[in-house]
Amino acid sequence: SRQFAAHGERTVIEIDGRLIGGDHFSMIAGPCTVESRDQTLTTAHAVAEAGASMFRGGAYKPRSSPYSFQGLGQEGLRILAEAKAQTGLPIVTELMDARDVEAILEVADVIQVGARNMQNYPLLAEIGRTGKPVLIKRGLSSTLEELLMAAEYVLKEGNPNVMLCERGIRTFETAYRFTLDIMAIPMLKELSHLPVIVDPSHAPGRRDMVLPLSLAAAAAGADGIIVEVHPNPEEAICDGPQQIYSDAFGAYLEQVERAAAVA
Ligand code: PEP
Ligand code: MN
C-alpha cells in the first residue's frame, strides 16, 4: 500500500456522504464515554449544531484501573444509536474485544481501535474482515512503523478504509501525560496514503491545551481532529479535566477550521 503513496494518490473514505482525507478536514467530537442518555444526547446535539462531522463516544472503555468505570457496554451502544438517529452524525466508537464486533457493527460508522489495542493483531484482522472504516490510535510507545504495520493488518484483509491517529506518546517528559508528536503528521503523510487524524485531548490531559494543539495539528496538515467534548466536564466520569465544554465547541471549531484552511 505504500506504492500508492509514491504515486501521490490519497485515500479518501466516504462515511454517510461525508469525505475523510484528501482535501477534506473532519472534526470528530463527543464525550470520552457515554455516561447517560442525557449527557450523550446533549453533547451530540451541541456538536451537530456547531458543524462537527462525526460523533465520538466510548461504550467500552480501556481504563488503566480495572476498578474504574468500564463503560455502559450494550446500553451505551443503544444511546449512541439514538444520538445518530436524532442528529444524523455518524458514530465513532471503540471496539476492545473481538467478541463485541457484531454489537459494535450495528451502531458504529467508524470503529475506533484504542492506543492500548494498536498491536492486538487478531482484533485488527477481525476489523479488516468487516470492511468497516476504522480509526487506529497510535500505541503509547509505538513507532510510526509499528502504527503503519497495524494498519497493514486491516488493509491485508481487504479493508482499505483506515485512518491513522496520533494521540501522544510516552517520552522522558513528565510535565504532561503524553507528548503529542506533531512531526508524525507530515511524516505519516509522506510514508502513507491514509488520512491522519489527531487527538489533542489525551496527550495534555487538560482542556487549556486542546485548542493550541488542535491549531498546530491543523496547520501541520492533519486530515482531521478527534476531540473530547462534555456538557459538564466537572461531573464527567472519566477524562473530565481535558474535555472541552460543549457550549464552547462552536468557537473552538471555527478557529480550528481557519487553521486547517490555510494549511
Ligand atoms: C479515547 O479515545 O477515549 C481513548 C481511550 O483513547 P486512547 O486509546 O488514545 O487512550
Ligand atoms: Mn478519553
The C-alpha cell 459494535 sits at 104
Would the CB of 71 count as within 6 Å of ligand 1?
A: no
The total of structural domains in the chain comes to 1
Would the CB of 138 count as within 6 Å of ligand 1?
A: no
Would the CB of 30 count as within 6 Å of ligand 1?
A: no
The tens-digit pLDDT sequence of the chain (263 residues) is 655 655 679 999 999 999 999 999 999 999 999 999 999 999 999 999 999 999 999 999 999 999 999 999 999 999 999 999 999 999 999 999 999 999 999 999 999 999 999 999 999 999 999 999 999 999 999 999 999 999 999 999 999 999 999 999 999 999 999 999 999 999 999 999 999 999 999 999 999 999 999 999 999 999 999 999 999 999 999 999 999 999 999 999 999 999 999 98
User: How is 145-200 classified by DSSP, letter by letter?
Assistant: HHHHHHHHHHHHTT---EEEEE--B--S--SSSSB--TTHHHHHHHH-SS-EEE--
CATH of the domain at 10: 3.20.20.70
Among the bound ligands, name the one nearest to the CA of residue 64.
1
> Which domain, by its residues, includes 50?
2-262
Query: What is the enclosing helix (H) or strand (E) of 27?
Result: strand 26-30
The C-alpha angle 78, 116, 79, rounded to 5 degrees, equals: 10
Q: Is the ipTM of this complex over 0.85?
A: yes
pLDDT digits (tens, 9 = 90+) for 129-162: 999 999 999 999 999 999 999 999 999 999 999 9
